[in-house]
Amino acid sequence: MPYPEKMLNDGESVTVDLHPHWWFFAEPVVVLLGAIAIGIVVLVGTDDGSDVRKWLGLVSLALIVISGIWLIARYLQWGTTNFVITNDRVIYRSGVIAKHGIEIPLERVNNVMISQRIVERMLSTGDLMIESGGEDGQQRFTDIREPDRVKNLIHAMINENERNAFRGTDGGGFVASGSDVASQLEKLEGMRDRGTLSPDEFEAQKRRLLGG
Protein backbone atom coordinates (compact mmCIF):
# COMPACT_ATOMS: atom_id res chain seq x y z
CA MET A 1 0.00 0.00 0.00
CA PRO A 2 1.62 3.30 -1.07
CA TYR A 3 1.81 6.31 1.21
CA PRO A 4 -1.47 8.26 0.71
CA GLU A 5 -1.10 11.45 -1.31
CA LYS A 6 -3.68 13.20 0.89
CA MET A 7 -1.11 13.10 3.72
CA LEU A 8 1.34 15.25 1.74
CA ASN A 9 1.64 19.00 2.19
CA ASP A 10 1.04 21.47 -0.62
CA GLY A 11 3.93 21.35 -3.07
CA GLU A 12 5.35 18.20 -1.48
CA SER A 13 6.26 15.22 -3.65
CA VAL A 14 7.40 11.68 -2.83
CA THR A 15 10.94 10.80 -3.87
CA VAL A 16 10.94 7.23 -2.56
CA ASP A 17 8.32 5.08 -0.81
CA LEU A 18 9.60 1.80 0.67
CA HIS A 19 8.07 -1.17 2.44
CA PRO A 20 10.42 -3.17 4.69
CA HIS A 21 12.87 -5.58 3.06
CA TRP A 22 11.65 -9.20 2.72
CA TRP A 23 14.06 -10.04 5.57
CA PHE A 24 11.21 -8.63 7.68
CA PHE A 25 9.52 -12.05 7.26
CA ALA A 26 12.54 -14.13 8.34
CA GLU A 27 11.45 -15.00 11.89
CA PRO A 28 7.89 -16.26 11.21
CA VAL A 29 9.02 -18.10 8.06
CA VAL A 30 11.80 -19.92 9.95
CA VAL A 31 9.39 -20.92 12.73
CA LEU A 32 6.79 -22.10 10.19
CA LEU A 33 9.32 -24.19 8.27
CA GLY A 34 10.61 -25.63 11.55
CA ALA A 35 7.08 -26.58 12.61
CA ILE A 36 6.45 -28.27 9.26
CA ALA A 37 9.75 -30.16 9.56
CA ILE A 38 8.78 -31.38 13.04
CA GLY A 39 5.45 -32.56 11.68
CA ILE A 40 7.16 -34.52 8.89
CA VAL A 41 9.57 -36.13 11.36
CA VAL A 42 6.65 -37.13 13.60
CA LEU A 43 4.77 -38.70 10.68
CA VAL A 44 7.78 -40.59 9.37
CA GLY A 45 9.51 -41.53 12.62
CA THR A 46 6.69 -42.62 14.91
CA ASP A 47 4.28 -45.57 14.90
CA ASP A 48 0.69 -45.18 13.73
CA GLY A 49 -1.75 -44.78 16.62
CA SER A 50 0.94 -44.32 19.27
CA ASP A 51 0.49 -41.75 22.02
CA VAL A 52 3.86 -40.21 21.14
CA ARG A 53 2.74 -39.64 17.56
CA LYS A 54 -0.57 -38.22 18.73
CA TRP A 55 0.89 -35.67 21.14
CA LEU A 56 3.85 -34.67 18.99
CA GLY A 57 1.46 -34.31 16.07
CA LEU A 58 -0.75 -31.97 18.08
CA VAL A 59 2.28 -29.93 19.14
CA SER A 60 3.55 -29.59 15.57
CA LEU A 61 0.05 -28.70 14.32
CA ALA A 62 -0.26 -26.01 16.99
CA LEU A 63 3.14 -24.62 16.01
CA ILE A 64 2.12 -24.56 12.34
CA VAL A 65 -1.12 -22.70 13.13
CA ILE A 66 0.59 -20.18 15.43
CA SER A 67 3.46 -19.50 13.05
CA GLY A 68 1.00 -19.22 10.14
CA ILE A 69 -1.01 -16.60 12.03
CA TRP A 70 2.24 -14.82 12.91
CA LEU A 71 3.25 -14.78 9.24
CA ILE A 72 -0.13 -13.35 8.18
CA ALA A 73 0.08 -10.66 10.86
CA ARG A 74 3.62 -9.82 9.77
CA TYR A 75 2.45 -9.52 6.15
CA LEU A 76 -0.31 -7.10 7.15
CA GLN A 77 2.24 -5.09 9.11
CA TRP A 78 4.61 -5.10 6.12
CA GLY A 79 1.91 -3.85 3.77
CA THR A 80 1.00 -0.95 6.04
CA THR A 81 4.55 0.14 6.87
CA ASN A 82 6.04 2.92 4.74
CA PHE A 83 9.42 4.62 4.89
CA VAL A 84 9.03 7.72 2.74
CA ILE A 85 11.40 10.44 1.63
CA THR A 86 9.85 13.57 0.15
CA ASN A 87 11.33 16.85 -0.95
CA ASP A 88 10.56 18.20 2.53
CA ARG A 89 10.79 15.44 5.15
CA VAL A 90 11.42 11.82 6.12
CA ILE A 91 8.26 9.96 7.08
CA TYR A 92 7.75 6.61 8.82
CA ARG A 93 4.20 5.30 9.08
CA SER A 94 3.02 1.92 10.36
CA GLY A 95 -0.10 0.21 11.68
CA VAL A 96 -2.96 -1.92 10.37
CA ILE A 97 -5.76 -0.31 12.38
CA ALA A 98 -4.12 2.11 14.81
CA LYS A 99 -1.54 4.16 12.92
CA HIS A 100 1.63 5.60 14.39
CA GLY A 101 4.35 7.50 12.65
CA ILE A 102 7.43 9.69 12.77
CA GLU A 103 8.12 12.79 10.70
CA ILE A 104 11.54 14.44 10.49
CA PRO A 105 11.87 17.65 8.46
CA LEU A 106 14.96 17.49 6.25
CA GLU A 107 16.20 20.78 7.66
CA ARG A 108 16.41 19.17 11.12
CA VAL A 109 18.43 16.13 10.04
CA ASN A 110 21.92 16.35 11.54
CA ASN A 111 23.34 12.93 10.67
CA VAL A 112 22.36 9.69 8.93
CA MET A 113 24.02 6.38 9.81
CA ILE A 114 23.52 2.76 8.82
CA SER A 115 23.97 -0.49 10.74
CA GLN A 116 24.28 -3.85 8.96
CA ARG A 117 25.14 -7.33 10.14
CA ILE A 118 27.00 -9.60 7.72
CA VAL A 119 23.84 -11.36 6.55
CA GLU A 120 22.02 -8.05 6.14
CA ARG A 121 24.87 -6.67 4.05
CA MET A 122 24.66 -9.71 1.77
CA LEU A 123 20.92 -9.15 1.39
CA SER A 124 21.16 -5.36 0.88
CA THR A 125 19.17 -4.50 3.98
CA GLY A 126 19.89 -2.96 7.37
CA ASP A 127 18.97 -0.32 9.92
CA LEU A 128 19.00 3.41 9.34
CA MET A 129 19.64 5.84 12.21
CA ILE A 130 18.70 9.48 11.78
CA GLU A 131 19.88 12.08 14.27
CA SER A 132 17.81 15.23 14.31
CA GLY A 133 17.54 18.44 16.28
CA GLY A 134 14.87 18.85 18.91
CA GLU A 135 13.50 16.39 21.46
CA ASP A 136 13.47 13.31 19.21
CA GLY A 137 17.24 12.80 19.15
CA GLN A 138 18.05 9.62 17.22
CA GLN A 139 15.43 7.52 15.46
CA ARG A 140 16.16 3.96 14.31
CA PHE A 141 14.38 2.45 11.30
CA THR A 142 14.80 -1.29 10.75
CA ASP A 143 14.76 -3.53 7.65
CA ILE A 144 15.44 -0.68 5.22
CA ARG A 145 16.12 -1.76 1.65
CA GLU A 146 19.50 -0.68 0.26
CA PRO A 147 20.30 1.55 3.26
CA ASP A 148 23.41 3.00 1.59
CA ARG A 149 21.34 4.27 -1.32
CA VAL A 150 18.66 5.63 1.01
CA LYS A 151 21.30 7.41 3.10
CA ASN A 152 22.79 9.03 0.00
CA LEU A 153 19.34 10.04 -1.20
CA ILE A 154 18.54 11.75 2.11
CA HIS A 155 21.79 13.71 1.90
CA ALA A 156 21.01 14.64 -1.71
CA MET A 157 17.55 15.93 -0.75
CA ILE A 158 19.03 17.91 2.16
CA ASN A 159 21.56 19.53 -0.19
CA GLU A 160 18.83 20.34 -2.69
CA ASN A 161 16.70 21.97 0.00
CA GLU A 162 19.66 23.96 1.25
CA ARG A 163 20.42 25.18 -2.25
CA ASN A 164 16.80 26.25 -2.66
CA ALA A 165 16.99 28.09 0.66
CA PHE A 166 20.27 29.70 -0.42
CA ARG A 167 18.79 30.94 -3.67
CA GLY A 168 15.71 32.29 -1.92
CA THR A 169 12.82 33.60 -3.91
CA ASP A 170 14.99 35.77 -6.11
CA GLY A 171 18.48 34.30 -5.71
CA GLY A 172 19.39 36.51 -2.80
CA GLY A 173 20.38 33.74 -0.39
CA PHE A 174 19.71 33.64 3.34
CA VAL A 175 18.15 36.53 5.18
CA ALA A 176 18.52 36.51 8.95
CA SER A 177 18.37 38.91 11.85
CA GLY A 178 18.95 38.98 15.59
CA SER A 179 19.41 35.63 17.28
CA ASP A 180 18.81 33.84 13.99
CA VAL A 181 22.21 34.91 12.64
CA ALA A 182 24.15 32.29 14.64
CA SER A 183 21.95 29.42 13.46
CA GLN A 184 22.14 30.60 9.86
CA LEU A 185 25.92 30.79 10.08
CA GLU A 186 25.96 27.23 11.39
CA LYS A 187 23.83 26.12 8.45
CA LEU A 188 26.13 27.91 6.03
CA GLU A 189 29.17 26.19 7.54
CA GLY A 190 27.46 22.83 7.17
CA MET A 191 26.64 23.58 3.53
CA ARG A 192 30.25 24.57 2.91
CA ASP A 193 31.59 21.44 4.59
CA ARG A 194 29.26 19.22 2.52
CA GLY A 195 30.21 21.00 -0.69
CA THR A 196 26.78 22.53 -1.22
CA LEU A 197 28.37 26.00 -1.15
CA SER A 198 31.73 26.96 -2.58
CA PRO A 199 34.16 28.85 -0.29
CA ASP A 200 33.42 32.08 -2.19
CA GLU A 201 29.66 31.60 -1.83
CA PHE A 202 30.12 30.89 1.87
CA GLU A 203 32.14 34.06 2.43
CA ALA A 204 29.65 36.15 0.46
CA GLN A 205 26.70 34.87 2.49
CA LYS A 206 28.64 35.25 5.73
CA ARG A 207 29.29 38.92 4.95
CA ARG A 208 25.63 39.35 4.04
CA LEU A 209 24.49 37.92 7.37
CA LEU A 210 26.97 39.97 9.38
CA GLY A 211 26.11 43.12 7.50
CA GLY A 212 29.61 43.46 6.07
Calpha distance 168→117 (Å, rounded): 42
Q: How many domains does the chain have?
A: 3
Residues 203, 109 share a domain: no
104 has pLDDT over 70: yes
84, 101 contact by CB (below 8 A)? no
The answer to which of 67-71, 81-85, 172-176, 194-198 has the lowest mean pLDDT is: 172-176
Residues 152, 87 share a domain: yes
Residues 186, 106 share a domain: no
Closest CA to 1 of 94, 69, 72, 111: 94
Whether residue 163 lies inside any domain: the answer is no
Condensed to tens digits (0 to 9), the pLDDT of residues 134-188 reads 666 789 999 999 999 999 999 888 888 777 766 653 445 554 444 466 766 777 7
- Owning domain of residue 182: 168-210
**Residue 47 CB contacts under 8 Å (≥ 6 apart), including other chains:** 53
Residues 90, 138 share a domain: yes
- 193: exposed, middle or buried (Cβ count in 10 Å: 0-12, 13-18, 19+): exposed
106 has pLDDT over 70: yes
